[in-house]
Chain A
C-alpha cells in the first residue's frame, strides 16, 4: 500500500518531513484520520496536537497553532504557526 509523504512546515522552516502510514489531526469539524489514497482535502486545524505515524512505526506528535492541513495525491502538508 502506498505511503503518505508528510511535510510539517512552519513559516520559518520545514519542521519535519518523511513517509508516514497515517496522520491524525483535529479540525473544526472533528477528528480527521488521513490514510493513503485519501481524497484531496483542505482543512483548518484546531490548535492542538497532530499525530504522524511514521513508516518505521515511530509516532511523531506536533503541537500546531493556527494550522492547516492539505491532502492531495498522498502528499500531506501540515502548515502551522509554531
Chain B
C-alpha cells in the first residue's frame, strides 16, 4: 500500500469518527429542544394567572410601587445578558452578546452608565477576555434552567433596582434583559426588552371584563407580593426560551458539521480510489516493463 493511500485512509477514519460525534450531538440537541419547549408551555399557566392577577391589581387600584415608578433622571441601568455555557452552538451566544452590546451603546447614548449582569460561561469569558467590568454572573444552568435559578437572578436584580441609584453605586434606575426568543425550530432571534420599571399600560381593549376583585389583606400588600413574582416569572420565561434557542442553534450547527463531514468522506473516498488504481497501474506497468526488458535481453543474447 502506498504512502498516499495510507494518508487518505487515516484521514477518512478520523473524519468518520468526528461525524459520529457530531451526529450524536445533533440528535441529543434535537430531543432537548422538544423538552425545552415543553418546559415553556408547562410554565405558562403560572405566568398567565400571575399576569391576570397583576393586571387586576393594577387596574383596580392606584397603588404606586417602587417597581412601577419611573425615575425622572435615570443615571444607571442594569443589563442582563443570557448566553450558553457550552460551545458548538453556532452563532447563538455571539448573537446575544452583540445584541447586548448594541443595547449598551443605546443606553450610553442616553447618558446612562451600565452595570452588566451575565448568565452563561460564554458571555463571562467574552467579557473577561476583553477586561470589561461584570457586575455579577451566574453559570452552570443555561441549558436547563430551574425556577430557583431564575429566582436567584431576579432577587439580585430587584434588589439593585430598588436601591437608590443616586446614593448606591450598585443601584439602577432601569433593568433590561437580552435573551434569544424561540420563535420556531427554524427562527430564533435575540431580543432586548425592558423589564423594570414595569409599565402600566392603559388599554381600553381588555380581554374580557376582569371581575371586581377583593384584595386580601389589601391591594398594596398584594401588589407588593405579586410584582417580584411577576419579574421572576418573566426572567424564568426568558431563560427557558433562551435554553430552547440554544438547543436549536446547537442542532443546526451539528447538523451542518455532520453534512460537511459527509462531503469530506465522499471526496476522500474518491481520492483514495484514484490513488489505489494509480498504484495498481504502476505495479502492472513495472511488471510489464520488466518482463519486456527481460524478453528483449533474452532475444538480444540469442
Contact partner, B49, options A28, A41, A79, Cβ 8 Å: A79
B216: chain A residues within 8 A (beta carbon): 27-29, 32, 41-44
Q: Find out whether the CB atom of B43 lies under 8 angstroms from the CB atom of A12.
A: yes
A11-B236, A68-B226 as given contacts; A43 in contact with B215, CB under 8 Å: yes
A40: chain B residues within 8 A (beta carbon): 211-214
A12-B146, A29-B216, A40-B212 as given contacts; A68 in contact with B46, CB under 8 Å: no
Q: Find out whether the CB atom of B221 lies under 8 angstroms from the CB atom of A10.
A: no
> How near does chain A come to B232, taking the closest CB pair, in angstroms?
7
Q: Complex formed: what's the CA distance from A11 to B13 in Å?
A: 48
B contact patch SS: helix
Q: Does A81 sit within 8 A of B, measured CB to CB?
A: yes
A42-B53, A43-B222, A81-B147 as given contacts; A11 in contact with B217, CB under 8 Å: no
Q: Does A5 sit within 8 A of B, measured CB to CB?
A: no
Q: Find out whether the CB atom of A13 lies under 8 angstroms from the CB atom of B42.
A: yes
- Per the CB 8 Å criterion, the residue count for chain B at the interface is 31
> How near does chain A come to B6, taking the closest CB pair, in angstroms?
56
Chain B: which residue is nearest A13 at the CB level? B42
Chain B: which residue is nearest A72 at the CB level? B211
Interface mask (A23-34 → B, CB under 8 Å = 1, otherwise 0): 000011100100
Q: Does B225 sit within 8 A of A, measured CB to CB?
A: yes
Q: Find out whether the CB atom of B49 lies under 8 angstroms from the CB atom of A44.
A: no
Q: Does A77 sit within 8 A of B, measured CB to CB?
A: yes
Q: Find out whether the CB atom of A12 lies under 8 angstroms from the CB atom of B39.
A: yes
Q: Find out whether the CB atom of B229 lies under 8 angstroms from the CB atom of A66.
A: yes
A9: chain B residues within 8 A (beta carbon): 45-46, 49
Q: Complex formed: what's the CA distance from A44 to B229 in Å?
A: 12
Q: Find out whether the CB atom of A11 lies under 8 angstroms from the CB atom of B214.
A: no
A44-B217, A44-B225 as given contacts; A70 in contact with B49, CB under 8 Å: yes
A9-B49, A13-B42 as given contacts; A42 in contact with B214, CB under 8 Å: yes
Q: Find out whether the CB atom of A11 lies under 8 angstroms from the CB atom of B215.
A: no
A9-B46, A42-B53, A79-B49 as given contacts; A72 in contact with B213, CB under 8 Å: yes
Q: Find out whether the CB atom of A14 lies under 8 angstroms from the CB atom of B226.
A: no
Q: Does B165 sit within 8 A of A, measured CB to CB?
A: no
Q: Complex formed: what's the CA distance from A28 to B216 in Å?
A: 8
Interface mask (B40-80 → A, CB under 8 Å = 1, otherwise 0): 00110111011011001100000000000000000000000
Q: Find out whether the CB atom of A42 lies under 8 angstroms from the CB atom of B213.
A: yes
Q: What are the 9 A-B residue pairs with the smallest beta carbon separation, nearest first? A: A43-B216, A40-B211, A13-B42, A11-B147, A72-B211, A29-B217, A9-B46, A44-B225, A42-B213
- B-side residues, CB < 8 A to A, are 39, 42-43, 45-47, 49-50, 52-53, 56-57, 146-147, 150-151, 211-217, 221-222, 225-226, 229, 232-233, 236
- A-side residues, CB < 8 A to B, are 7, 9-14, 27-29, 32, 39-44, 66, 68, 70, 72-73, 77, 79, 81
Besides A12-B146, A42-B57, 15 new A-B residue pairs in contact (Cβ under 8 A), listed by A number: A9-B45, A9-B49, A11-B150, A11-B233, A12-B46, A27-B216, A29-B217, A40-B211, A66-B229, A68-B50, A72-B213, A79-B49, A79-B50, A79-B53, A79-B229
